[in-house]
Structure 1
Amino acid sequence: MRLVPRGLRARITVAVALLVTVVVALAGLVIVARIDHRDRADVDRQLAARAEKVQEDADKLLEQGNHAGGDEGQSDQDQDEYGGLLTGSQSLVRVLSDGQVVAQRGETPPFPLPVPERDGYSTLQGDGQTWRSLTGPLGTSGDRVELLQDIEPIERRLSDNIALVAAVTLLAAAVTAIGTWLITRLLLHPLQRLRTGALAISADVTGPALPAVDRPREVADLSHALNAMLDQLRTSMEATRRFTADAGHELRTPLTTLGMTLETLQRNPDLPEAQRTRALEAMRTEHRRITALLTGLQSLARGDAHALPGRTPVDLTALLAEAVQHASRRHPAVTYRLGPAAAVTMRGWPAGLRLAVDNLLDNAALHGRTDGNVDIRLSHDSTTIRITVSDDGPGIPPDQRQAMKERFTRGSRTHAPGSGLGLALVEQQAQLHHGTLHLGPSPNGGLQATVSLPSAPEAGPDPDADTDTDVSV
């Protein structure tokens, strides 16, 4: 048997109903206890006041002796002269001497009344009735006087009040449960909308996967967080799909070429050495092309999926110097000229910045003149850091520059080898660092590529790592 309901709506209803039940019951019992205490205190005060009256009329009470139940012919006024005790008032006064009742007046209880051993207040019960008793000394005679009052009406009032509290508590619990059940239906409606949207999620759906919820704030925060998570998952999935499609499209040609060359070598084991050497060199070229393609596609996919490490301080001056040194070894015929610059440090991803710089340097060497010059400049101001790479090659026509940033796009003027991913990788890293890539004419007649990066924290938040970007010189 399940004691705890499974649904959130039912749990909220049960919890609120129980809370209201406890609060109303406790509040009611406190009020009832307060009323009962006041009633009993009133009885005790009345007994004390009557005790003072009896002290004044003690002699008259002793002279008239016992009288209980109110004799016929004796008026209420006569009764009232002895302690203010009226027939039918369910009150009794007794004079005690040496443990014996020597005189009494008023209503006698239906059950035997013991003689109290001590003075003060006490409560007597018997035969379904409850009496309150007050005993004290009577003058200086050594006798004692006892005053009793039937408090059965107080007991009934206490029982009635408790029953009323119980009824009110049950009614409050029922009304609260019904009200909470109806109200939670409205309050949980945004969650129901999220559930409906979650059931309809598809990897092919574009835009927000879940309904945009504005209130309540907690549900709105949950909606925004879930949509952000789904966007990241879709971005990662789209990057994987794009990687697969691009890889399949671009690798088909070199793999086909490799297969044809291997088949040629297999069918012609006596191929002349010169032809065999050319075939092997062609296979090595295609292998390098495949490796470069896979490396570039992997870097693009990782950037598309925002699979990035945390930002760290990057010394751009040292990074450029090291990149130029390695590029000179890869392209010994090209002259790289790195202009002087003060030390510039920013927060970013060292591997991503190095990838962008390496591609700029390789692109300038491959598409510039074979023995040309490549100028590299690093500059900065209060808001922007600029990395500029200029070559003296044929350049890119203005109407083709934007298209050259697309993946697998090659210029109409170039015959140099390449995958067509270089500038796409540079622009991706620039955007990930909240910067831009600009292609323009070079002062040397070729292409000038400028990567502009923010040098101040106000440049924009970083969704993947640290949110501050700074520059120190």
Structure 2
Amino acid sequence: MRLATRLAAACAVTMPVLALAAGAAVLRLAAQDIHREQVAELRAWATELRPAVEDLPAMPPPGTGPLRGAAPGGGMVVEAAGRRWTTGGPPAADLPERDGPVDVRAGWRVWRGYAVSLTVPGAGPGRMWVFAPLGQEERRVRELRRRLLGVALLTVPAGAAVGWLAGRAAARPLTRLGQRLAALGPEPGARERVVVRFGTTEVDAVATLLDSTLDRYDEQVARTAQALAASRSFASAAAHELRTPLAGMAADLEVLQRHPDLPADQRREVLGDVLDAHRRAVAVLAMLRTLAEGELIGPDSFAELDLAELADVEVTAARSRHPTATFTLVAPPSLSYRGFEEGLRCLVTNLLDNAAEHGRTAETGQAAVRVEVSAGVEGVRLIVEDRGPGVPPAHREEIFGRFWRGPGSRGTGLGLALVAQQAALHGGRVEATERPDGPGTRFVVRLPWQGAAR
């Protein structure tokens, strides 16, 4: 059964039950009011008759004098000195010896009365009871019950109808939410969201929660798609780039196998080619792995770091890798920045290695690399420049593509691609220009303060 039907049915049943319960409570309260009203009337009647009875010189015979017709529809009993005078009222019976309201049962009939003490002339102290038949009260209650029943016969169906409509109206936001969910498109990220004000706090909260869940689902789907794309790219690039070194290694090993009697100098040359091809293959795989990992990095991998200290550590390491090159670092004592530490290390390392490799001067054949780290209003800036031949303007954009290598380059063609990737990951950019004070290449990396763009 649908929830809307359940709510409507529950309201349709509950409202008539509440109406009947309210009617029963009203009937009970009304009966109590009628009882109190009758007792008050009897008290007033007894109070009114008491002076007249006490002023009589002697009690007259029943049915005569002031006792005759004194209680139309009811009755009165006066008792003193062992004698009883009665007009109407219940037949002779034991009457309660107390003042106040009394009920007397005579057979199947109940009389409601009120007793007061008095002094009867010639008889001394006595008591007077005035009575009214309970049937009068019962008739009034029955009349009220009939009226309430008539009202209930009209209220119950009307209450059921109102309850049904109220239940349907209460469930309408849930129905609209279901329709909204059914209308969502199947494509992650391309569909509209649920958020619509349904006018019901609980339903609006569920809609907001569903939107949040869909956002997380879309994020996971996007990250999964990124991972698959990175895997495909890695496999394709590895197959493409490793084909040449592996083929060269296979050819060299085959030469060694077919010619075991090669001279020692030729054997060393062939083995050197095999080692160079192996190193190249390992370097390509490492670079490709780093590129693939960089595509999956999110803001949760970012942390506070000292960019000046990071640059100092990487410059020191570069001096060890390139002993013939000179490195100069210009940076503040410390520079706090929020970013992906491994990615920034990779960025600095590849810029330094690229400058040391391609920044050799024609005169000395050695590279002089200058590194500058600074902070500004918009973010931080990293400059790496050399005094080499420079990059032609036509290639200053191409050098950041994957597997792009200049003439005579011994690199993998992936270093500057990693630099561009990490700069973009941090919401920044990198550009290659000429040195302002002479020949050479100047790489400028600008990183905003806000961190990741994704």
TM-score between both structures, scaled by the size of structure 2: 0.76
Alignment deviations for residues 379-422 of structure 1 (CA, whole Å, 9 cap, x no partner): 112332111100122221222212222222223xx312112111
Name the amino acid aligned to 2:116. Answer: L
Name the amino acid aligned to 1:372. Answer: A
Alignment deviations for residues 342-380 of structure 1 (CA, whole Å, 9 cap, x no partner): 321212222111111001111111222151211101111
- Secondary structure in structure 1 of the residue aligned to 2:334: coil
**Residues 38 and 256 from structure 1, CA distance in 2 versus in 1: closer, same or farther, beyond 3 angstroms?**
farther
Say whether the 8 Å CA contact 1:327–1:361 is kept in structure 2: yes
Name the amino acid aligned to 2:445. Answer: V
Q: State the match for 1:74 in structure 2.
A: none
CA distance in 1, matches of 2:240, 2:102: 104
Alignment deviations for residues 264-319 of structure 1 (CA, whole Å, 9 cap, x no partner): 32333323322322222222222222222222222222221225654322112211
Name the amino acid aligned to 2:413. Answer: G
**Residues 337 and 21 from structure 1, CA distance in 2 versus in 1: closer, same or farther, beyond 3 angstroms?**
farther
Say whether the 8 Å CA contact 1:209–1:230 is kept in structure 2: no
Choose 347-356 or 155-164, whichever is displaced more.
Answer: 155-164
1:396 and 2:391 equivalent?
yes
- Secondary structure in structure 2 of the residue aligned to 1:313: strand
Q: CA deviation at 1:461?
A: 6.8
Name the amino acid aligned to 1:144. Answer: W
1:137 and 2:137 equivalent?
no
Say whether the 8 Å CA contact 2:62–2:85 is kept in structure 1: yes
Q: State the match for 1:171 in structure 2.
A: 161
**Residues 175 and 94 from structure 1, CA distance in 2 versus in 1: closer, same or farther, beyond 3 angstroms?**
farther
Name the amino acid aligned to 1:208. Answer: G
Say whether the 8 Å CA contact 2:357–2:367 is kept in structure 1: no
Say whether the 8 Å CA contact 1:243–1:297 is kept in structure 2: yes
CA distance in 2, matches of 1:340, 1:437: 19
Q: State the match for 1:250 in structure 2.
A: 241
TM-score between both structures, scaled by the size of structure 1: 0.73
1:215 and 2:200 equivalent?
no
CA distance in 2, matches of 1:64, 1:155: 42
Q: CA deviation at 1:28?
A: 6.5
1:331 and 2:310 equivalent?
no
**Residues 54 and 328 from structure 1, CA distance in 2 versus in 1: closer, same or farther, beyond 3 angstroms?**
same
Unaligned runs of 5+ in 2: 54-58, 64-68, 119-125, 198-203
CA distance in 2, matches of 1:291, 1:308: 29
1:321 and 2:315 equivalent?
no
Say whether the 8 Å CA contact 2:425–2:452 is kept in structure 1: no
**Residues 103 and 261 from structure 1, CA distance in 2 versus in 1: closer, same or farther, beyond 3 angstroms?**
farther
Q: Give runs of aligned pairs for residues 155-304 of structure 1, distance below 5 A.
A: 155-157=145-147, 166-179=156-169, 184-194=174-184, 197-198=185-186, 201=187, 208-213=189-194, 215-216=196-197, 219=207, 221-222=211-212, 223-304=214-295
1:426 and 2:415 equivalent?
no
Say whether the 8 Å CA contact 2:46–2:114 is kept in structure 1: no
Q: State the match for 2:356 in structure 1.
A: 365
**Residues 337 and 270 from structure 1, CA distance in 2 versus in 1: closer, same or farther, beyond 3 angstroms?**
same
Alignment deviations for residues 135-154 of structure 1 (CA, whole Å, 9 cap, x no partner): 43234332434442112334
CA distance in 2, matches of 1:154, 1:64: 41
**Residues 283 and 182 from structure 1, CA distance in 2 versus in 1: closer, same or farther, beyond 3 angstroms?**
same
Choose 353-362 or 30-39, whichever is displaced more.
Answer: 30-39
1:18 and 2:10 equivalent?
yes
Choose 163-172 or 259-268, whichever is displaced more.
Answer: 163-172
Alignment deviations for residues 329-352 of structure 1 (CA, whole Å, 9 cap, x no partner): 111121111125332121222211
Name the amino acid aligned to 1:44. Answer: R
Q: State the match for 2:40 in structure 1.
A: 48
CA distance in 2, matches of 1:251, 1:96: 130
CA distance in 1, matches of 2:295, 2:156: 65
Q: Give runs of aligned pairs for residues 98-117 of structure 1, distance below 5 A.
A: 103=86
- Secondary structure in structure 2 of the residue aligned to 1:333: coil
Q: State the match for 1:383 in structure 2.
A: 378
**Residues 55 and 230 from structure 1, CA distance in 2 versus in 1: closer, same or farther, beyond 3 angstroms?**
same
**Residues 313 and 65 from structure 1, CA distance in 2 versus in 1: closer, same or farther, beyond 3 angstroms?**
farther
Alignment deviations for residues 173-219 of structure 1 (CA, whole Å, 9 cap, x no partner): 4334555666644332211123xx23xx4xxxxx8343345524654
- Sequence identity (%): 29
Choose 24-33 or 440-449, whichever is displaced more.
Answer: 24-33
Q: State the match for 1:448 in structure 2.
A: 442
Say whether the 8 Å CA contact 1:386–1:451 is kept in structure 2: yes
CA distance in 2, matches of 1:56, 1:50: 10
What count of residue pairs does the alignment treat as equivalent? 414
Q: State the match for 2:201 in structure 1.
A: none
Name the amino acid aligned to 1:45. Answer: E
CA distance in 2, matches of 1:297, 1:114: 115
Q: State the match for 1:73 in structure 2.
A: none
CA distance in 1, matches of 2:314, 2:104: 102
**Residues 143 and 434 from structure 1, CA distance in 2 versus in 1: closer, same or farther, beyond 3 angstroms?**
same
1:405 and 2:397 equivalent?
no
Q: State the match for 1:204 in structure 2.
A: none
Q: CA deviation at 1:326?
A: 0.8
CA distance in 2, matches of 1:135, 1:114: 13
Name the amino acid aligned to 1:441. Answer: E
Alignment deviations for residues 238-282 of structure 1 (CA, whole Å, 9 cap, x no partner): 222222222222222222222333333233332332232222222
CA distance in 2, matches of 1:179, 1:155: 34
